[in-house]
Every structure is written in structure tokens, then in C-alpha cells.
A and B are shown apart, each in its own frame.
Chain A
């Protein structure tokens, strides 16, 4: 069109983020809008880049550990767990049974805490304020447990090579039991507010639909993959750290929309609780720390260790040249890979759906930018 008329419209370009209440950190999305409809979206990342992978090349294997608290800070315990398991595999370190079980228990607590934070922020993005505070109430209890056993709430530095730093403090067992006894009723409470709420259904059903093929092509993992009906959970497929001893179900969705992923995460919290209950009922006595070298020098080679973090497959690919420092350490962050789906998912939707879709992918910028 050459001639300008009075009714010409043009695309509106807005920057969502890096300072925006619902981009979950410092994600910046450049949205091209036709009215309220999204024509195109480009995610711009890197605002939280700290070069964790490069830093790791200059630290020995033990000193690396606390850095992985800070990649995915919402699931710090899982992140350290993945790394520690990888290095233990490289060195062939034996971990006492008690420590193995406590590790799984705390990782599952972390899954609960992470999903609670996800539900809280997802709900507030869609406007349900009360769910937000209910979730934070329970997350607070989990963080108190972390503080009791690890001495920190968020960046916990949970595990050491060969086991744990310290055993459970006195009274910890009872505190855990109290939490898991109360927790199912709390999840029911969130469900009461959301699951059959007309507005919630309208906002989540049919929004951000991922088909199973697309999910596999993109390399998604965790709830976004299972929401599309693909049975993939590393805890079941390639059990690590002793997960094969416990009974739990892997919930799966049918439609691959935001609502299915919501149901999956709620069910995962219940399943995590089930694992914790099994561990608490059958926790052997004994040491919590096996023998591990002071300065580990893993044999030359390439290693890959993957765990099912709350967000999906979290992998550590470590190359050793026989020296005390990793030659190369590469993290496979689950949400870095989920985020690439954003552009396809938001196209054609409305601005209000963009925040719902960002929420449902459960991104953490700490791990995307690393």
C-alpha cells in the first residue's frame, strides 16, 4: 500500500520484559501485535548469563557444586543432585543406602516446592490471587525443612560427593511426616479453587496446544512432554539413585494443552508425596557419607548423567581430561529447550495467553541463561 488512508492500521510492537511481572524473571519477549492478537514473538534471553559452564572449567569437581544451586534456583536440590550423581558415576563412588534415600526424599520435596511455586505464579498470571498465597504457605513449610537439614532455604548446596554433609537433625522425621500428612488436603484446596472453575477452564483449555510429534521434535521433556501424552520419565526409563525401589505413577495428559499440564503437575506433587511416604516408612540406619577423594581426578572420558528435574530432563555432560577440573561441562537445561516452543505456541493467540503459555512452560531464567 503506497497511499496512506485514515484507517491504516499498523502492527504494534511491544517489549514484554525483561521487567514484566509475568515473564518469570528476566525473559524478554518482543511481541508483534495486531490489536491484541500475537503475530510474532521473539524471545530474547541472556539477561541472567553468568557463564556457569565456563566457571566450572576453572574449579575442581567439589568446588563446582554450589554453582549448580544457582542455575535453576527454584529446584536447587535437583540440580545439585544431577551433578553429584554424574561425578559419582565418573569416579565410581559408593553412596550409603541411607544417604541415597534421603537424597531422593529431599529431591522429591524440591519437586513439590518447585511445582508449588509454578502453580502460584501460573495462577497469579491468570488472575487467581488467592491460590498464589496458598501455595506459598505450603512452600514455606518445605523451605523450613530445607533449612533444617541443609542450613539454607534456596541455594541449599544439598549434597556432597559420596552422600550428604550431615544426617537429618533430630525431629526432622516428625516434621516431614507432619507435612506429608497435611499436604493432600492442601492440594485438594487448590483444586477446589481452580480445577472446575469455569474461568480457569476457559483460560487454560485449548491454549498452548503441543502435539506429541511436535513435543518430541522440539526435544521437550518433563510435564510439557507428558502433557502431550508421551510416556517419558527418566525416573522410570533410566532409574538413577535408587528410584526403582519406589512405587509411583507418571501422570499423563491427552490434549497437550495448558490445562493438562496443570493437572499433571498437581498429580506429580501427589506422587512425590507418595515417594516421600515410602522413604520415611523404610529408612535404614547407617552413615550418610561414603568415601570420596578430597580432590577427585576422574579418568579421562565423557560422561552424561540425566535426572528428571521438576521441569524435565536435566542433563550434565562432563568431559574429563584426567585433571582435577572438568575439561568441559555442559548443562542440558530442560526449560531452555521448552522455551523454543514459545514462538510457535503464542502465534495467533492473545496477549493474555502469552502469560499463560510462559507460565505453563515453567521456565526458570537462571537455567536458561546459565
Chain B
């Protein structure tokens, strides 16, 4: 039975993530079209139904599946094939520890809506994200193309710079919550400060939130941090990829966007928490209460998680269509001389405040 539950959760998460990717490819085109006074994708139709271009991702996938899978002569066949798989795999497995809902009693079982109940969840996500970089570096190396090689090198240097920041910003959060377990972190964010403010990460660690979002955006390799791709300069690490292997890199890009949004949601925006919603229903700080059945609470909480992730994805895309691209050295300078020292400062300030709270109370 527990295996079934796990399988059901894997199935659910996988489909939600892929559904997000599906919608994001569509959203990316439509949103940019609205921003740029265009109409956007609207041609793909099934039996004459166009549905605002919602079928375009299907058409894209079909196109990529039927295209020639090209491997450069001097390239390394094995690594060239493996690279997109590595990239996509590690992006997807990171979702295993993201809690998309709370802990519920379902048919006599206690179910925590999180695939893997791991007490070092945060470390696991960071590890998986770091592993994913191998996909890009290997893709650049195995293509036997200098442009791709430059792309791979850019990816690795960018990841090293921002991976450290990503970890450093989280230390402040760890000091506040005292746990690496993502579900527990979200549960703690359900508590209230001063009796009415939700105890979300963004309120406890505002600087951490900004730094983490920046670093997470850099992790997703989207504008303004898209230097490994840099399509007007070096075309990117995937310049020698075609067909579905290119499609996998493309999908990875979107999966990572969803992942970044989910992480920011889980760590800083209260995850699946709805303000003042406890397991029995709403309990407002001014004393009123609105009891709800467990099913409604479950739906509200999962819905809240998906909603927060969607809003963040939307904002990431807004940024992508507004800003120009950084230069390689500027990006690294920003990472090493601005973001990283600030995140260390954040740790210091958090420590001092925690110490002060402990001694005065």
C-alpha cells in the first residue's frame, strides 16, 4: 500500500511538472507576444480547434521527435547522447523532496504530500542541481565544436559562482528554522508571528529571499543570466544538438524554471501554506473561524502551492523578456563580489539577531 502511495505521488508530481512545462512553453510564447505587440502561437489545431495555440507544445514535441538526430563526426557519441539525459534527469529528481501539500489522514494512512520524506531534503536538492550541470558541460565538450565548448565552460563557471551563493543564502534560513527537512520548514512557516503575520521565509529573511531568487534565476540559465546559451554570441552549449535531444535540453530549461519557482515557494513563500488555514479550516487572527472539511483544506493547500509556483514562473518570464543579457565577466563579478558577500552578511546578521533574541527572552 505504501509503495502504491509513493507511486501515486511520483505519478502526480511528474505529471504536474510536465504539465507546467507544457503550459510554460505556451505561456512563454503568448506572454512575450502580448508584451511585444504580437499575436503569438495560434496556428496548431486539432480538427479545426485552435484553443489559443494550446496545441503548439504537442506540435513542437512531434516535430522534435521526427527530426534527424544529428551527432557530429568528431563528437563523442556516448557522451553526446548521455548529456541531455543527465541534465533532464537531475532536474526532475530534485522534485522528489519538494512538499506540494501537508500531512493528511487518508483512509487510515498518514500521507505526507512529498515523494521522499528525507531529513536532509535541502542538501539533496542542492546536490541534484549541482549534478545537473554535468549535462551542460558534457554537452559542450562532446560536441567537438568550439562554440559549444565555450558554452559548456560558461555554464560551469556560472554554476560554481551561483551554487555557492545558493547554499550561503540558505544558511540564514537554516539557522531560523533549524532543520533541513523541507516539509518541516513549510510546517514551521504555518506558524504566526505576533499572532497575525504568517511566519514565512520572506518575512524572516527578506535579503535572503532576494539573493536566493537571483541565484535561482542564474541557475535556470535564463535572461539576464543566459550566458551559457547566449544565442547571439556563441549560440550555446547545445549548438550541435537536434531533434528530441535538443528537446530534452529545452525541457530541462523549463523544468529548472519550475524547480526554481518551487524552491523559492517552499523556502520563502510558505510552500503550500495558506495564511491562517489550519488543518481544521481557517482560524483568523481576529478570532473568527471557518471550519472546512479535510478534502477542501487539501485542495486549497495544493492549489496554493501551484498558484505560488505559477506566479513566480510568470515573473521569471517577465524578467526574461525585459532585460538584456549580462556579459560573462560581469555576471561572475556580480556573483562573487556582490551576491556572495551579501549572503555572508545575511548569515552574520541572522546570527546576531538570533543570539539577541535568545539572550533577551
By a beta-carbon cutoff of 8 Å, the part of chain A in contact with chain B is: 12-14, 20-22, 35-36, 123-130, 133-134, 137, 193-194, 197, 199-200, 202-203, 350-355
Interchain nearest-CB distance for B217 vs A (Å): 13
Query: Which residue of chain A is the closest to B322 with respect to CB atoms?
Result: A130
- Separation of A202 and B153 alpha carbons in the complex (Å): 22
Q: Tell whether, in the assembled complex, residue A352 and residue B327 are in contact, meaning their CB atoms are under 8 Å apart.
A: yes
Known: A128-B324, A199-B324. 20 other contacts (CB 8 A): A12-B146, A14-B147, A21-B231, A22-B233, A36-B154, A123-B324, A124-B232, A126-B324, A127-B324, A127-B325, A128-B325, A129-B36, A130-B32, A200-B324, A202-B327, A202-B330, A351-B328, A352-B227, A352-B233, A355-B232
CA distance A352 to B151 in the complex (A): 12
Contacts of A202 in B (CB 8 A): 326-327, 330
10 nearest A-B pairs in the assembled complex, by CB-CB distance? A127-B325, A133-B36, A128-B324, A127-B324, A22-B232, A14-B146, A352-B327, A126-B324, A125-B232, A199-B324
Residue of A nearest to B145 (CB): A14
- CB-CB nearest in chain B for A200: B324
Using A22-B232, A351-B234 as known contacts, say yes or no to A197 and B324 having CB atoms under 8 A apart: yes
Check B38 for interface membership: any CB of A closer than 8 A: yes
Instruction: Specify the chain B residue showing the minimal Cβ separation from A126.
Output: B324
In Å, the complex CA distance between A99 and B329 comes to 53
CB–CB A203/B233 < 8 A: no
Cβ–Cβ < 8 Å partners of B231 in chain A: 21
**CB-defined A-B contacts under 8 Å, sample of 9:** A14-B147, A22-B233, A123-B324, A127-B223, A127-B232, A127-B323, A202-B327, A353-B327, A355-B232
Is B321 a contact of A129 with CB atoms below 8 Å?
yes
> Among residues 118 to 155 in chain B, which have CB atoms less than 8 Å away from a CB atom of chain A?
146-147, 149-150, 153-154
A350 to B326, CA, bound (A): 12
Cβ contact of A129, chosen from B32, B147, B230, B234, cutoff 8 A: B32
CA distance A20 to B232 in the complex (A): 8
Give the shortest distance, in Å, between A194 (CB) and chain B (any CB): 8
The total number of A-B Cβ pairs within 8 Å is 86
> Which A residues lie within 8 Å of B36 (CB)?
129-130, 133-134
Q: Is the CB of B323 within 8 A of A199?
A: yes
Q: How large is the interface on B (under 10, 10 to 19, 20 to 34, 35 or more residues)?
A: 20 to 34
- When distances are taken between beta carbons in the complex, the residues of chain B under 8 Å from A351 are 150, 233-234, 328
Residue of A22, A202, A350, A353 with highest tally of chain B CB at under 10 A: A202
Identify which of A14, A35, A137, A352 contacts B230 (C-beta below 8 A): A352
**What is the CB-to-nearest-CB distance from B98 to chain A, in angstroms, rounded to a whole number?**
30
For the complex, give the distance between the alpha carbons of A20 and B233 in Å. 8
A158 → chain B closest CB, angstroms: 28
Contact between A134 and B324, CB atoms less than 8 A apart: no
Residues of chain B touching chain A, judged by Cβ–Cβ distance below 8 Å, are 32, 35-38, 146-147, 149-150, 153-154, 223-224, 226-227, 230-235, 321-330
Contact assessment for B232 and A199 in the assembled complex, using a CB-CB cutoff below 8 Å:
no
Tell me which of B37, B224, B235, B326 contacts A21 (CB under 8 A): B235
How long is the Cα–Cα vector from A364 to B224 in the complex, in angstroms?
Answer: 28
Q: Is the CB of A36 within 8 A of B150?
A: yes
Q: Are A134 and B37 in contact (CB under 8 A)?
A: yes
What residues of A have a CB within 8 angstroms of the CB of B233 in the complex? 22, 125, 351-352, 354-355
Please state if A199 and B224 are interface contacts (CB–CB under 8 Å).
Answer: yes
Contacts of B32 in A (CB 8 A): 129-130
- Once the chains bind, are A199 and B329 in contact (CB under 8 Å)? no
B224 with A127: CB separation less than 8 A? yes
Nearest residue, chain B, Cβ from A125? B232
Chain A residue numbers with a CB within 8 Å of B235 are 20-21
Which chain B residues border A129 with CB–CB below 8 Å? 32, 36, 223, 321
Q: Is the CB of B328 within 8 A of A352?
A: yes
Return the contact of A350 from the options B35, B37, B149, B327 (Cβ within 8 A): B327
The answer to whether B37 touches A137 (Cβ under 8 A) is yes
